[in-house]
Amino acid sequence: MKTEKILLDPEELPKRWYNLVPDLRVPLPPPLNPSTRSPIGPEDLSRLFPKELIRQEVSMDRYIDIPEEVREAYMLLNRPTPLQRANHLESYLKTPARIYFKREDLSPTGSHKPNTAFAQAYYNAREGVEQLATETGAGQWGSALALASAYFGLDCKVFMVRASYDQKPYRKHVMNLFGADVTPSPSTITGYGQSVLAERPDHPGSLGIAISEAIEYTVGHTNTKYALGSVLNHVMVHQSVIGQELVQQLAQADLAPDYMIGCVGGGSNFAGFAYPMIGARLSGQAGSTEFLAVEPTLVPSMTEGEYDYDFGDTAQMTPLLKMYTLGSSFVPPPIHAGGLRYHGCAPTLSALVDAGTVRPMAVGQDECFEAGRLFARTEGIIPAPESTHAIKVAIDLALEAKRTETEKTIVFNLSGHGLLDLAGYASFLEGLPKAS
């Protein structure tokens, strides 16, 4: 049986990123200073981020040029990535639906995260920064930033959530190979880390704590800036390279999706995948696509959180962001989809959910692994545990189309592969009844 791939030529790689913010129907609520509760200004962010990224963070320009150096780096990331049809999954399901997926698993670190890591490292290097500091959960973001830092000649310091550092050492090795310095968080090298450890010496850490440590480290070191892998507007902007390629691929194959599906941790792969299409809709272009954002039932920020101002980190050092949140002190349970363990969600995505433009959904861990296993067996790709959340919903919709005998077109974002997440798959397989 054939495998259909819709490919773009290298020259069709987008020359500009897309920014959704000017197309929102209701203006995006601004970040607030926690003590005065008035909107923060660019100067409040200048200790953490380079000027150009702050400019992009608050930009009202619909398009932002991609620097030639970053476009060249995107070739290293195997961009443009294919839009592939899941022919084998379709035939296994005996569904009349057509299922397509965008292949963000093909980057050197195995996820969409380098799309923004390379842009961020480029602007920092251009402005004379010498070191980037960041946090990472399972290590996808840390490995993307480590590679991007090496590429643009920067040092890279990563605070890695302790539980992952101990249980999932492989991404730590990846980061070390790319030249990054990796410290388990909570650590003894920041005041905040020390205070957490004083209360609980065996603390397993969390993304919120690691963010606090990375910010404190940044402020305490010269020529050092901070980099964030999701949530912020400039990250969503860089990821739009995914969706702009997709728009060209859909046009080339004459496809109009009934559903577009992405998983959500902080919201960046969903944003990159769907915002160019959503923006066209908000600007009046006709279409009936439903946009579905999928999160884990155990970290249900969009489906059960409050839409309110909250801190991005546990030590409450960041500005307040208006977002769907479970509270900055929420400690997510140790699910295997480490990239989805965040208490909040991007302000732009939160605004779209609040407006009813994007429908949030939550799915359970075992049903996701089951969907991931079926995808691996039929399509030959082991998906990241995060990405299985989108796959699970795509399969459910394909089975629904079979029941109703309708030819739906379903497109989802394959945000990454799961070849460094086999421990999660192993515990899933061990929990299954034998000889299944």
Ligand X SMILES: *Cc1c(COP(=O)(O)O)cnc(C)c1O
Q: Judging by DSSP bridges, how do beta strands 16-18 and 63-65 pair with one another?
A: antiparallel
Least distance between ligand X and beta carbon 223 (Å) = 27
Q: Which is nearer to ligand X, 93 or 232 (CB)?
A: 232
CA–CA distance, 343 with 365 (Å, rounded to integer) = 17
User: CB of 415: closest distance to ligand X in angstroms?
Assistant: 3
Question: Smaller CB distance to ligand X: residue 106 or 253?
Answer: 106
> Do the Cβ atoms of 262 and 294 come closer than 8 Å?
yes
DSSP string, 378-432: HHS--B-TTTHHHHHHHHHHHHHHHHHT---EEEEEE-BB-TT-HHHHHHHHHTS
Q: How far is the CB of 201 from ligand X (least distance, A)?
A: 29
DSSP H helical ranges for 224-314: 233-252, 268-282, 301-304
Residue 388, amino acid: T
Distances (CA, A) of 268 to 1, 51, 74, 223, 228: 34, 21, 17, 27, 11
CB of 25 to ligand X, least distance (A): 23
Residue 394 CB, shortest distance to ligand X, in Å, is: 15
Kindly report the length of the chain.
436
Q: How far is the CB of 384 from ligand X (least distance, A)?
A: 4
Instruction: Please say which residue, 268 or 325, places its beta carbon nearer to ligand X.
Output: 268
Contact 69, 122 (CB under 8 A): yes
Among all residues, whose Cβ is closest to ligand X?
416
**Choice between 78 and 87, CB closer to ligand X:** 78
Q: Is 297 exposed, middle or buried (0-12, 13-18, 19+ CB in 10 A)?
A: middle
Closer residue to ligand X, CB minimum distance, 244 or 387? 387
- Smallest distance, ligand X to C-beta of residue 387, A: 6
Decide whether 196 or 227 has the Cβ nearer to ligand X: 227
Report the distance separating Cα 40 and Cα 201, nearest Å. Answer: 36
To the nearest whole angstrom, how small is the minimum distance from the Cβ of residue 174 to ligand X?
13
Q: How far is CA 331 from the centre of its chain?
A: 19
CB closer to ligand X, 208 vs 416: 416
Q: Which is nearer to ligand X, 190 or 301 (CB)?
A: 301
In 3-state terms the chain splits into helix, strand, coil percentages (rounded to 5) of 45, 20, 40
Instruction: Give φ, ψ of 58 to 5 degrees.
Output: -110, 10
Show the tokens assigned to 213. 């440590």
Site for ligand X, rule CB under 6 A: 111, 113, 140-141, 230, 263-269, 339-340, 384, 386-387, 415-416
The DSSP code for 258 is S
By beta-carbon proximity to ligand X, the closer residue of 311 and 412 is 412
Closer residue to ligand X, CB minimum distance, 98 or 113: 113
Query: Are the C-beta atoms of 369 and 402 separated by less than 8 Å?
Result: no
Query: Does residue 262 contact residue 246 with C-beta atoms inside 8 Å?
Result: no
Q: Are 322 and 347 spatial neighbours (Cβ–Cβ below 8 Å)?
A: yes
Which element (helix H / strand E) includes 11? none
Which CB sits closer to ligand X, 90 or 379?
379
Angle at 245 between CA 266 and CA 23, to 5 degrees: 60
**Separation between Cα atoms, residue 426 and residue 424, nearest integer Å:** 5
